[in-house]
């Protein structure tokens, strides 16, 4: 896959909920079959997380202050040695980028088997909720969609976990389960994913996220049977399930 500016702009738009209609559906379909694209999305998400990190922000401000001080010194001619002109702004940006890359690297390195979770996990996408009329008429849908797209998962949980409509909508259960998963409430996520019946159109999705929840918890012996179930018949997750089974066995 060629890493172009257009690709990163699409990934950024997807992660920030700005892709709509045909463009959103096309990107979601590509994610289901393109492992390299899923990897790029996850890397970009990790860098976004690093950019939001408070310590990272403080560090960047410190570098900017140093940059300003150096420029002031140069303007006041306090430096008497004849040294080559240095683009301190570029140097500061370079150091920031190296620091962010290091942060992402060590986050993954310290996570053990969770790097597999990070490699395969992409939150269930916020699609047009059209598979059930009770969903499209949901009074809190706009707020739910905005919070989910903004990764404000605690607010999503607050909207969904006490709503009677949740029991009638498996798609809403997927949003709730993914929200639990993203706030480290894996036990609750498991219960939600397990509650989706085999006859449901969302059963395969639920089994995939159930397996990933077990991977995140390092419960490989529970993850593999679920993945084998998905790998036993043709569905959207068959290929990914096979890949993940092999990766889990290699990392045992």
The domains of the chain, with CATH numbers, are 5-111 (no CATH), 118-250 (1.25.40.10)
> How far is it between the farthest Cα atoms of the chain?
79
Mean pLDDT of 60-69: 57
Q: What angle do CA 123, 127, 132 make, to 5 degrees?
A: 120
pLDDT in tens, 143-184: 888 899 899 999 999 988 876 555 558 888 999 999 999 999
Q: Model pTM?
A: 0.56
Residue 207 contacts residue 229 (beta carbons within 8 Å): yes
Task: With a cut of 50, say whether residue 80 has pLDDT above it.
Answer: no
Lowest-confidence segment of 81-95, 106-120, 139-153 by average pLDDT: 81-95
Tokens of 117: 């979770």
Lowest-confidence segment of 50-54, 116-120, 166-170 by average pLDDT: 50-54
Model confidence at 124, pLDDT cuts 50, 70, 90, reads: very high
């Amino acid at each position: 896959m060629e890493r172009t500016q257009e690709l990163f702009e699409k990934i950024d738009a997807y992660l920030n909920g700005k892709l709509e209609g045909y463009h959103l559906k096309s990107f979601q379909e590509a994610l289901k079959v393109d492992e390299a694209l899923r990897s790029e999305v996850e890397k970009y998400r990790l860098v976004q997380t690093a950019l939001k990190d408070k310590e990272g922000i403080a560090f960047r401000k410190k570098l900017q202050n140093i940059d300003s001080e150096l420029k002031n010194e140069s303007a006041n001619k306090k430096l008497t040695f004849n040294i080559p002109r240095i683009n301190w702004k570029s140097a500061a940006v370079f150091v920031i980028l190296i620091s962010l890359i290091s942060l992402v690297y060590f986050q993954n390195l310290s996570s053990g088997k969770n790097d597999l979770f990070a490699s395969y996990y992409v939150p269930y996408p916020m699609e047009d909720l059209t598979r059930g009329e009770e969903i499209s008429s949901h009074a809190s849908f706009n707020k739910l969609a905005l919070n989910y797209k903004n990764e404000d998962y605690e607010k999503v949980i607050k909207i969904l976990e006490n709503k009677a409509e949740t029991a009638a909508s498996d798609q809403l259960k997927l949003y709730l389960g993914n929200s639990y998963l993203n706030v480290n409430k894996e036990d609750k996520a498991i219960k939600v994913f397990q509650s989706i019946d085999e006859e449901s159109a969302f059963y395969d999705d639920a089994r995939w996220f159930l397996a990933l929840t077990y991977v995140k918890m390092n419960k490989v012996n529970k993850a593999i049977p679920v993945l084998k179930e998905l790998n036993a018949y043709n569905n959207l997750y068959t290929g990914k399930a096979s890949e993940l089974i092999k990766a889990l066995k290699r990392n045992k």
